Structure 1
């Protein structure tokens, strides 16, 4: 029991250090999740894997990961997203389908790791680390692949969100068009907020709503991956996958958050606290995943997925830029 508790506390300490590190220059752009993963990777290389407290670390990387996804659903106001109109939802569907299929196709051409490519496709199309965390158990991804994907998505999202802000200041583009473009193309919610904030409060609200429309689509995409995995496993004579019950919690929390929000019962301060707690729990989970990464393995496996997601992100940005012009 002591080792179990010590393992959870250990991931909590690194998550706290990662959160503090994310306040520093440069690290503020990649966020607490990627910062904590970097600290965990450095610890693993210098001190090795803390085998004695493995049960607690496993609890953080698996159970707390699912809890964070469930709490993440509270952010979604389903009614508000649907009210955006079919054009925004269709743009979200396009982003997801386009990202996943282009990532798979290009990943095969570049001979990238298949599991990492699937995770990056979901992360690029839907909602970054949260989507990766939700899809990983469905496709039976290794923990090191999940951690690697989260690190890559954080880096790529940061590069593109900063690039977007520069483009907004350099080129004549309407704030509404820019906001919608940011919301349907950037990787994480934090990246969307970073890019859209210079365009003003109304633009930021539109960008976040467009992004949350993509988050809502995490549910059908997850079930689509489940269906695909079941067919694949059946054809290969493998055991069927276990149902990801945490998705039910995600749906229920989304419904609860929608009802409470519509009735004006969601206190902004409470929601801000819940959001911070959710992020910290997810950071603890990412710490547990990061401890499984060997630096040599990271170096060997990262380059091709990095190149793949970079190309896909560029093509997605260009395609959605012109499509959003039609929607505004």
Structure 2
């Protein structure tokens, strides 16, 4: 009787099987992050945990998907907002926005010189902290002709602080008993990326989410004048400035929800879909924070980002408590 030949697992086959299981695990975790019971911070933690264990088997895809998912999520949230209340909120946050952007850029440049950080890297970290995180870095980078290393260090610094903000800000807000409006203003000014602002404000309450979204998106428009000033500072004649076009679509969604009753009937479903998209976005962001990415940041840019973040957070919180 002929005996069956034993299955031989070559190193190549074992490696291929391991990669397949990693991909399946990643897809399953992404699916879990879409469940309504999974809050955005939990989705971020899942992505971060996978990044530290199996890595990111879809790194190229998640990098592109994060960009588009965030923009679509922001547009979807526009269907849950009213133009009149948004204008009132934007007025309230205007002075805070101007003062915080100017102050953050100024102190960011000073900290970069003090810590002896390469000039373009320090400026990207300061810009990301001052305006809207990764979007600002993506807009300013071509203006100053930053290379991939400088961009990745700045993005890594901002993303790590964004992840911390999702947990720290709601805790501090509840501890200080901030109102929904106060917390919305604070998170929009002191948290870098739109995704983390929305995630923290959504956790705090519906009014905080509306205030934070309106103020953060009006803040993002400052990319335009900051990019022009940056071109002058760095003596760069390049006209390659990436503007956040999705803000225009967000405004259109808000107009439709304000003036078209037919849209109001489905707006709640669109807002819920946007919040689900945000959870998946944060999962992908967490998945980009691999050990290699974290190790490549360096302590000086990270220290600059932390000190700058503490400065703007404390200053904005103090001003909000006093004047609102």
Taking structure 1 as the reference length, what is the TM-score of the superposition?
0.68
Give the corresponding residue for 1:75: 77
Q: What residue is the counterpart of 2:181 in the other structure?
A: 180
Whole-angstrom distance in 1 between the partners of 2:222 and 2:87 = 20
Give the conservation status (yes or no) of the 8 Å contact 2:33–2:43. Answer: yes
**1:204-226 deviation digits (Å, cap 9, x = unpaired):** 44323221221331452232333
1:253 deviates by 4.5
Given that 1:120 and 1:153 are in contact with CA atoms closer than 8 Å, whether structure 2 keeps it comes out as no
Q: Distance in 1 between matches of 2:273 and 2:225?
A: 32
In the other structure, the counterpart of 1:315 is 315
C-alpha distance 271-95 of structure 1, shift in aligned 2 (>3 A): same
Distance in 2 of aligned mates of 1:272 and 1:139: 32
What RMSD, in angstroms, separates the aligned Cα atoms of the two structures?
3.9
| Residues 274 and 76 of structure 1: CA distance in aligned 2, closer, same or farther (over 3 Å) | closer
Larger Rg, first or second structure (1 or 2): 2
Q: Aligned pair 1:143/2:143, yes or no?
A: no
Task: Pick the aligned partner of 1:16 from 12, 15, 30.
Answer: 30
CA contact (8 A) 2:80 2:268 kept: no
1:128 aligned residue: none
Q: Residues 18 and 36 of structure 1 are in contact (CA less than 8 Å); yes or no, is this contact kept in structure 2?
A: no
Distance change >3 Å, CA 306–CA 84, structure 1 → 2: same
Any conservation in 1 of the 2:46–2:286 contact (CA below 8 Å)? no
Distance 1:100 1:17, change over 3 A: farther
Which residue is equivalent to 2:95? 94
- Equivalent residue, structure 2, for 1:272: 272
For 1:64-213, list aligned pairs within 5 A.
64-77=66-79, 80-83=82-85, 86=88, 88-111=89-112, 113-122=122-131, 131-140=132-141, 142-168=151-177, 178-186=179-187, 187=191, 188-195=197-204, 204-213=205-214
Q: What does residue range 235-314 of structure 1 map to in structure 2 within 5 Å?
A: 235-236=235-236, 239-244=238-243, 247-256=244-253, 258-260=255-257, 262-263=260-261, 264-285=264-285, 287-288=287-288, 290=290, 293-295=293-295, 297-314=297-314
Aligned residues: 277
Q: Secondary structure at the match of 1:184?
A: helix
Q: Which residue of 1 aligns with 2:144?
A: none
Q: Distance in 2 between matches of 1:16 and 1:301?
A: 30
Q: CA 1:82 to 1:258, structure 2 compared with 1: closer, same or farther past 3 Å? A: same
Q: Tell me, what secondary structure is at the counterpart of 1:208? A: helix
The aligned counterpart of 2:14 is none
Measured against aligned partners, the alpha-carbon deviations of 1:160-214 in whole angstroms (never above 9, x if no partner) come to 321221222xxxxxxxx7222111112322323434xxxxxxxx44323221221
Superposed displacement of residue 252, structure 1 = 2.0
Distance 1:66 1:276 in 2: 14
Residues 184 and 208 of structure 2 are in contact (CA less than 8 Å); yes or no, is this contact kept in structure 1? yes
Q: 1:283 to 1:291 in 2, by over 3 A?
A: farther
**CA spacing shift, 1:114–1:82, aligned 2, 3 Å:** same
Deviation at 1:61, TM superposition (A): 1.2
Partners of 1:78 and 1:279 in 2: CA distance: 17
Structure 2 unaligned segments of length 5 or more: list them.
1-19, 116-121, 142-149, 192-196
TM-score by length of 2: 0.69
- Residue 32 of structure 1 is matched in structure 2 by 43
User: 2:185·2:211 contact (CA, 8 Å) conserved in 1?
Assistant: yes
CA contact (8 A) 1:62 1:285 kept: no
Shift of 1:255: 1.1
- Secondary structure of 2:139's counterpart equals coil
Conservation of the 8 A alpha-carbon contact between 2:93 and 2:185:
yes
* Match status 1:222 vs 2:223: yes
